[in-house]
Structure 1
């Protein structure tokens, strides 16, 4: 779903109404900024992506969003080229490395603060119950220590896995498994222990949170 530009409509121009409007305009300044609005061109309205290859970014922790953008900026994470999904879709495809490099430190901070304050909206996906049960066991054995509450906690600053798009998570796990993306040191041995079947079951487990 593409986002519509934010608008503030004033009616009954009394002093009380104008004062309230001024307050609301100040509070919503970040949400209405062109920078924030531009994120919706790929990540959807309020960061709740409806594209299975584009991650949901609303509700992720501030620290996680900052570190992720820094990894893109510094070339420490693969950047798949992506077309624009909303707005002017005739624009040339882009990638997160280009976008992160174009942002100032203040802009990066603004984006992280905005989206971390929004609720995480879980993707609606079809899963295999048998694989979900297997994936739950794999998660508890290999992943729960850092990705608490079945991967649904934002407080561990490891990203929210539960309810994230499965194709996006699949691409991320593939990058780790193939060595094109360096996992955190404590995650590396866990990734190495997972078989392809384990990874698929994990995806089904995380996709079952809806």
Structure 2
């Protein structure tokens, strides 16, 4: 009798467990069946269910917040890359996110999910979270990952620009993205030949280089410029900023661009007040190297008219740009011409102080192009 009572008491529990097991097995089957017969509407003409939209937004924000914990954000964002970042935004981002003074396409406004107006929403995220989004993108949306995964310096430049974006009006955006001379009147695009349009956003039509982190192209060796464009196009040298401009460029167009910038007169651009002892140390390394560390003299490749035409001229280059490139070589994050490993080996034997001194010296040095 007691056994019968016990079985009766246990029966509801057993029934409930049975239902749970059936549900656990059956629910995925029902979902798969619904997907197979096309029950779920994937059309973008209507929005998600409210619960679906809520869940996706929760998952996205939580993931960004969690993964951003591993990002080491600088205390102060470097603003020297703003022109390059603004130029990239104008070329690759504004088409979806809009920009001050530029309306988005009605087709973009029908995207699901709709790309946000970053001038209004960038403030919702921390610097580390913006870095995470820009670098890795967001799945199930049109937000791609950064084209060059090893160029964190470019991603941080984009973060700095996104912090600046809410402060810009239409005129301010055009000036930052295209430069005062290229952004004329009410035009959203600079008045330059088609093959130069993408270049002038960052380098200016005169090749001066807009911002300390953008290289000076004026008076650079034609062979080096041509080889660099080919390297970017092949992916041997990575840069998110350069990925779009070189896409679709024909060989003759690259050659024409190299000729154009090589023909521009060199412009002294670096007027930073640098202590004389720093410049002198850089000169010593450039001319004699560091024998005890097996660092060769820079002059062996970069000074004089008798050097390989694929070795670039460094004279008058932005100090900040040279410093950045040497550090990229040191970490083997920069490729380029077939000789890049020579630079990587030398840079790995340089300290930050050495790199700073060398960059300062060449930024002050002038030499007529050959």
The two structures have a TM-score, normalised by structure 1, of 0.71
**Cα distance in 1, alignment partners of residues 248 and 353 from structure 2:** 39
Q: Does 1:203 align with 2:349?
A: no
Match of 2:221 among 61, 66, 72: 61
Equivalent residue, structure 2, for 1:107: 253
Distance 1:100 1:203, change over 3 A: same
Equivalent residue, structure 2, for 1:143: 298
Distance 1:198 1:71, change over 3 A: same
Q: Does 1:44 align with 2:44?
A: no
Equivalent residue, structure 1, for 2:327: 174
Deviation at 1:37, TM superposition (A): 4.4
- Whether the aligned pair in 2 keeps the contact of 1:131 and 1:201 (CA below 8 Å) is yes
Match of 1:190 among 346, 350, 358: 346
What does 1:65-104 align with in structure 2 at a 5 Å threshold?
65-79=225-239, 81=240, 95-104=241-250
Q: Which runs of 5+ in 2 are unaligned?
A: 1-178, 184-191, 290-296
Equivalent residue, structure 2, for 1:90: none
CA RMSD of aligned residues (A): 2.7
Q: Does 1:125 align with 2:271?
A: yes
**Cα distance in 2, alignment partners of residues 185 and 43 from structure 1:** 26
- Whether the aligned pair in 2 keeps the contact of 1:147 and 1:153 (CA below 8 Å) is no
Deviation at 1:156, TM superposition (A): 3.9
Deviation at 1:184, TM superposition (A): 2.5
Distance 1:137 1:41, change over 3 A: same
Tell me which protein shows more helix as a share of its residues: 2
**Cα distance in 1, alignment partners of residues 329 and 276 from structure 2:** 26
Q: Relative CO higher for 1 or 2, CA cutoff 8 Å, sep ≥ 6?
A: 1
**3-state SS, counterpart of residue 102 of structure 1:** coil
- How many residue pairs match? The answer is 170
Q: Which runs of 5+ in 1 are unaligned?
A: 6-31, 82-94
Q: Identify the range of structure 1 (37-46 vs 136-145) with the bigger mean alpha-carbon deviation.
A: 37-46
**Cα distance in 2, alignment partners of residues 2 and 105 from structure 1:** 30
**Cα distance in 2, alignment partners of residues 114 and 175 from structure 1:** 27
**3-state SS, counterpart of residue 193 of structure 1:** coil
**Cα distance in 2, alignment partners of residues 154 and 118 from structure 1:** 20
Larger Rg: 2
**3-state SS, counterpart of residue 246 of structure 2:** helix
- Whether the aligned pair in 1 keeps the contact of 2:301 and 2:308 (CA below 8 Å) is no
